[in-house]
């Protein structure tokens, strides 16, 4: 039986299907750019058709991202900007596949992850565990089609880095883990293979204790953006990143709210008005630390640290 040529954890048939999907997707992108993306606003079926084809060819991750575009169009807010960002990602993925012989194994894994190729238990090495005390920072929930994605962020008190534990909820009857604000979880974790490891396979919730005092490394807006740029230079497909920010103020401009550093650097906030009002109260003291998820040049703040207490905006 023939073996997969490029991806170690795929068999030959699945690899061929994936390569066919990328070839089909490349042709669709070329046609779309020639015709103009404004047609998507008037003919959403174009997106549903190509999304269904991507599922058929074994690339459900691309399909989910395609189906997010008509949702954003229906909302009517910044859909053109969002669509251009998605198309830029798609173009990068297609170019990466065309240059696949030059990619290392971790870069190939990032491509598979983007395409939504699932991991099996045998895909993980049993010796690649890392143990730390993980401080729970908060969760961002997002709806993709009929799927709810919960992105749980933790901070390793020894490794001084943030990790991401994803949970997928297909309906409200599917149980998900409940993590407590300010709790530390003693757990051995496994990282998904990546050029920039961040996502973990599992976080044990049984062994935990409430933190009293701890040291958590925070950054100015400038240094956080520098670190993010370093990460995406290694892995351009990195979607979300956790920012832990100090010395910030809030400012509004043209009906949008921003975090502002002492030097004047701005980051646009995607939080609701109610959450902004909470933040203005919690951050009256500039010593308080802001925690949020950075994506698409914007920040979604989900927690604030005040005197070693982590306060969630969702509570």
Q: How far apart are CA 235 and CA 62, in angstroms?
A: 17
* Sole residue written with tokens 């550093």: 261
Give the pLDDT score at 73.
81
Give the pLDDT score at 128.
76
Which of 132, 140, 112 shows the shortest CA–CA distance to 235? 112
Which of 169, 125, 133, 137 shows the shortest CA–CA distance to 240? 137
**Contact, 213 vs 308, CB < 8 A?**
yes
Reported pTM: 0.90
Q: Please provide the distance, in angstroms rounded to a whole number, between the alpha carbons at the two ends of the chain.
A: 55
Write out pLDDT tens, residues 27-86.
999 998 888 887 777 776 778 889 999 999 999 999 989 988 888 887 766 788 888 889
Write out pLDDT tens, residues 10-24.
999 999 999 999 999
Which of 72, 25, 75, 32 shows the shortest CA–CA distance to 51? 25
The bridge status of strand 298-306 relative to strand 266-269 is parallel
* Sole residue written with tokens 């070693």: 308
Give the pLDDT score at 125.
67
Q: How far apart are CA 225 and CA 298, in angstroms?
A: 11
Q: Phi, psi (5° rounding) for residue 126?
A: -70, -10
pLDDT less than 70: residues of the chain: 1, 44, 76-77, 121-123, 125-127, 145, 172, 315
* Helix 12-35 and helix 79-98, axial crossing angle in degrees, nearest 10: 130
């Amino acid at each position: 039986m023939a073996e997969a040529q490029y991806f170690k954890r795929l068999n030959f048939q699945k690899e061929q299907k994936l390569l066919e999907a990328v070839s089909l997707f490349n042709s669709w992108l070329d046609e779309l750019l020639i015709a103009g993306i404004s047609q998507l606003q008037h003919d959403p079926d174009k997106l549903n058709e190509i999304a269904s084809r991507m599922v058929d060819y074994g690339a459900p991750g691309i399909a989910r991202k395609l189906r997010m575009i008509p949702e954003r169009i229906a909302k009517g807010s910044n859909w053109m900007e969002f669509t251009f960002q998605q198309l830029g990602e798609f173009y990068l993925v297609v170019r990466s596949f065309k240059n696949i012989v030059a990619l290392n194994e971790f870069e190939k894994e990032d491509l598979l992850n983007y395409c939504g190729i699932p991991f099996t238990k045998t895909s993980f090495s049993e010796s690649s565990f890392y143990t730390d005390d993980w401080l729970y920072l908060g969760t961002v929930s997002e709806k993709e089609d009929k799927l709810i994605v919960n992105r749980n962020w933790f901070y390793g008190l020894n490794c001084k880095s943030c990790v991401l534990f994803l949970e997928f909820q297909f309906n409200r009857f599917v149980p998900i883990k409940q993590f407590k604000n300010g709790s530390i979880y003693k757990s051995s974790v496994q990282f998904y293979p990546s050029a920039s490891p961040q996502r973990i396979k599992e976080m044990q919730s049984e062994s935990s204790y409430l933190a009293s005092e701890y040291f958590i490394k925070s950054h100015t807006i400038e240094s956080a953006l520098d670190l993010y740029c370093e990460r995406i230079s290694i892995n351009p497909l990195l979607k979300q990143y956790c920012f832990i920010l100090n010395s910030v103020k809030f400012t509004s401009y043209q009906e949008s709210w921003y975090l502002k550093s002492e030097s004047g650097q701005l980051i646009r906030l995607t939080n609701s008005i109610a959450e902004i009002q909470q933040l203005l109260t919690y951050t009256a003291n500039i010593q308080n630390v802001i925690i949020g998820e950075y994506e698409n040049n914007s920040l979604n703040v989900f927690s604030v640290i005040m005197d070693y207490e982590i306060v969630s905006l969702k509570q």
